[in-house]
């Protein structure tokens, strides 16, 4: 249920990189129009075909963008804290092409579309930052679609986790820790393979110490070894 608790909103905006450097008047404007929404695991945030009526940023939790198809669901993208979901549809004023689902209990920051565009018109530096973020997202989606054609499964799995490491990983004595829970089904849907193949690849890499599966996390002990392993061996 959306909420506008002023203290909670101010704390959220002060913690999000996109908003914490805003001048106080602009941040106050964002707080005045923003709402926070708590979403349970598995709940749809929007469905394919819905019209975007607000900018949606993940504050806590994870969101996946799922394309339903006859051959099975495909996860097009995943978003974590501080990332904006559905921005391409919002900016192009087109219906959402896929469904957004909470992967775990999630908190969203919602900003009405009309108010958001009015804010962008008032701050050119902020506008440039948002356009850059949208461009990067478009490029990432283009690379993902290209990688789905003719690339071996283990290379696609490695690319997925290396990308997650870049976006949300942190260095630990064990290696790069990725604080996200992904089922084998979700991994399969993301890289375009079967659950059985995802299980086989992940189990082998866990045994070999290339990609460790833990509770609510994954660890890459050595990024270069994972890259190398993904390029050799028999086709899946």
Give all domains of the chain, ordered by start, each with its CATH number. 2-147 (2.60.120.10), 153-229 (1.10.10.10)
Distance, in Å, from the CA atom of 108 to the CA atom of 87, rounded to the nearest integer, reads 14
pLDDT digits over 144-162, tens only? Answer: 555 555 568 888 888 888 8
**pTM score, two decimals?**
0.67
Could you tell me which residues are beta bridge partners of residue 78?
64
Residue count of the chain, please give it.
236
Q: pLDDT band at residue 14, thresholds of 50, 70 and 90?
A: confident
Within 8 A by CB and 6+ apart from 180, the residues are 62, 78, 80, 103, 164, 168, 216, 217, 218
- The residue among 235 and 117 whose pLDDT is bigger is 117
pLDDT over 70 (residue 25):
yes
Give 169-200 pLDDT, tens digit per residue. Answer: 889 999 999 988 888 988 888 887 889 999 99
If you average pLDDT over residues 44-51, what whole number do you get? 96
CA distance 126 to 87: 15
Q: What are phi and psi of 105, to 5 degrees?
A: -55, 125
- What phi, psi does 97 have (nearest 5°)? -80, -10
Does position 235 have pLDDT exceeding 80, yes or no?
A: no
């Amino acid at each position: 249920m959306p909420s506008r608790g002023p203290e909670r909103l101010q704390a959220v905006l002060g913690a999000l990189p996109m908003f914490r450097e805003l001048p106080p008047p602009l941040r106050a404007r964002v707080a005045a129009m923003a709402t926070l929404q708590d979403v349970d695991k598995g709940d749809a945030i929007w469905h394919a075909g819905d019209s975007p009526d607000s900018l949606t940023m993940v504050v806590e939790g994870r969101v996946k963008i799922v394309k339903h198809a006859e051959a099975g669901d495909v996860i097009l993208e995943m978003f974590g804290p501080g990332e904006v979901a559905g921005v391409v549809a919002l900016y192009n004023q087109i219906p959402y092409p896929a469904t957004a689902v909470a992967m775990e209990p999630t908190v969203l920051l919602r900003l009405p579309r009309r108010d958001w565009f009015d804010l962008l018109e008032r701050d050119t530096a902020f506008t440039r930052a948002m356009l850059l973020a949208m461009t990067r997202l478009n490029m990432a989606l283009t690379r993902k679609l290209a990688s789905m054609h003719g690339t071996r499964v283990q290379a696609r799995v490695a690319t997925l986790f290396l990308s997650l490491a870049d976006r949300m990983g942190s260095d630990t004595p064990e290696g790069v820790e990725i604080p996200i829970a992904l089922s084998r089904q979700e991994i399969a849907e993301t890289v375009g393979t079967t659950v059985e193949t995802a299980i086989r690849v992940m189990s082998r890499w866990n045994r070999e110490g290339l990609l460790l599966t833990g509770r609510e996390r994954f660890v890459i002990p050595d990024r270069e070894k994972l890259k190398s392993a993904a390029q050799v061996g028999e086709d899946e």
